[in-house]
A = this chain, B = another copy of it.
């Protein structure tokens, strides 16, 4: 389809905190005639700075990076470089992440289980202005559906995520203990969990926190 010699190559930014993966990826993508890696980054902020400096056509971002995760970088990038398409790659594809990513204007979302060959094709797809979402991740996201929790319930559940007692959560959220317990109770029943700790785990699995 895309003839390599006929048009200028696609300029890529690669961001992943794992040097091993980033370097290897750069090497593999460089084998494709129509792709060229113009910048690499190991952290969220670094990715942002590199993008501003090198103006890539497509940014390939890892979902989990120190500093700022891929989705946050994508959000900033959309404001700064509207022409730059964002493609997220991830190891652990939780359903909620996909939704957040799409809301942030991300054009592609793939697990790291794809081959480099396939990734190159997807980069071209995204560069051409189309979207690409891994079918399996998409199915998971659809079956998991939207979070049934209200904003407040989600917030309180997040405060509960590290196992803090109610008193501490109440203090951090500036609420009374009774209110906190009510929110947790409703969150637990909405998620069908046995207690708030299991609820946290469930919400995590579905990507709702």
Given the complex, which residues of B lie within 8 Å of A17, measured CB to CB?
Answer: 113
A142 on interface, CB distance cutoff 8 Å: no
Are B21 and A21 interface neighbours, CB within 8 A?
yes
Given the complex, which residues of B lie within 8 Å of A89, measured CB to CB?
Answer: 20
CB distance from A205 to the nearest CB of B (A): 10
A18 on interface, CB distance cutoff 8 Å: yes
Are A198 and B164 interface neighbours, CB within 8 A?
yes
**How many copies are assembled?**
2
Are B197 and A163 interface neighbours, CB within 8 A?
yes
Per the bound structure, the CA–CA distance linking A188 and B54 in Å amounts to: 51
A139 on interface, CB distance cutoff 8 Å: no
| Contact among B116, B195, B196, B197 for A23, CB-based, below 8 A | B116
Per the bound structure, the CA–CA distance linking A158 and B25 in Å amounts to: 37
A91 on interface, CB distance cutoff 8 Å: yes
Q: Place the interface of chain A in its size category.
A: 20 to 34
| Contact among B27, B42, B111, B165 for A27, CB-based, below 8 A | B27
Q: Which residue of B lies closest to A89 (CB)?
A: B20
A115 on interface, CB distance cutoff 8 Å: yes
Are B115 and A19 interface neighbours, CB within 8 A?
yes
Are A114 and B20 interface neighbours, CB within 8 A?
yes
Are A91 and B18 interface neighbours, CB within 8 A?
yes
A194 on interface, CB distance cutoff 8 Å: yes
Are A114 and B28 interface neighbours, CB within 8 A?
no
Encoded as 1 (CB less than 8 Å from any B CB) or 0, chain A from 86 to 105 comes to 00010100000000000000
Per the bound structure, the CA–CA distance linking A105 and B194 in Å amounts to: 40
List A residues 38-74 near B (Cβ within 8 Å): 42
Per the bound structure, the CA–CA distance linking A111 and B199 in Å amounts to: 32
Are A163 and B20 interface neighbours, CB within 8 A?
no
